Amino acid sequence: MSESLERELDRAAKMIERAEYVIAFTGAGISAESGVPTFRGKGGLWEKYKPEEIATPEAFERDPRRVWEWYKWRMELIAKTKPNPGHIALARMEEAGIVKAIITQNVDGLHQRAGSKNVLELHGSIWRVRCVNPSCGYRATVREPPKEIPPRCPRCGSLLRPDVVWFGEPLPSRVWEQAVIEAGNADLVIVVGTSGVVMPAAMIPLLVKQHGGVIIEVNVEPSNITVSADVFLKGKAGVVLPKLAEKLGLKI
């Protein structure tokens, strides 16, 4: 470990110890070491697929089968993965009463599988489906991808869709309101593995900063958040977060 990272880790740990209400804000980068591809950056999903072709309501209207094929592929991929030491370190910090909430942009469910309890999923979950018919309201949790694609609603026969937020769609309002409340309570946010370009999600760390809070960022490279970060811990989430947890006296 470089001397400067060691020093920055010490600074970060002191800030966390002094803070009263710590939250975490995570993106695709925290799941990269579990084998879930990120959207942007090297090897990102968008090198192969264009978002406007897959993750939009228009794409689903045009070709639900194609959209479902992509989600089925991602569900199969995610089902084979495990939480990595980054997810586990955050779960331990929550267990120890240090981290109060995890606000995530991820849809993979890996935070919960690592043992995190207070997880706010801003962009929904790949492990939920819902009926496209607004007057039906059917929703379900699933453990595996649907066998038949596109799946149909057992209640009304309309199409089922993944319960995730697509480009151009609003965030689930109750989850968003809760996230804004958490950001309002927080005097420190640990931002992990996000490019910080997807709005309004990326507002969360900035809201903490706006009322005088501190941003500690973990990323392999600078992001949109970095200019606002008080401490930048350069490295992989699965390496840096366990070291940070250790500095806080926790065993991973």
> Does 123 contact ligand NAD by CB under 6 A?
yes
Pick from 22, 198, 214, 233 the residue near ligand NAD by CB under 6 A. 198
> Using CA atoms, how far apart are residues 246 and 252, in angstroms rounded to an integer?
7
116 near ligand NAD, judged by CB under 6 A: no
Range in contact with ligand NAD (rule: CB under 6 A) among 65-73, 106-114, 180-188, 244-252: 106-114
Strands 231-234 and 119-121, by their bridges, are unpaired
Which of 23, 38, 89, 150: binder of ligand NAD (CB under 6 A)? Answer: 38
223 lies in the binding site for ligand NAD (CB under 6 A): yes
Task: Identify the residue among 171, 176, 189, 195 touching ligand NAD (CB under 6 A).
Answer: 195
d(CA 65, CA 181): 38
Alpha carbon 209 to its chain centroid, in Å, reads 19
123 is catalytic: yes
How distant is the alpha carbon of residue 13 from its chain centre?
A: 22
| Near Zn ion in 117-136, by CB under 5 A | 131, 133, 136
- Structure tokens that stand for 106 in this block: 């991820």
Collapsed DSSP state (helix, strand, coil) of residue 40: coil
Work out whether 172 is an interface residue with ligand NAD (CB under 6 A): no
**Other CB atoms closer than 10 Å to residue 132's CB: what's the count?**
17
Q: Is 125 in the site for ligand NAD (CB under 6 A)?
A: no
The one-letter amino acid code at 234 reads K
Q: Does 128 bind ligand NAD (CB under 6 A)?
A: no
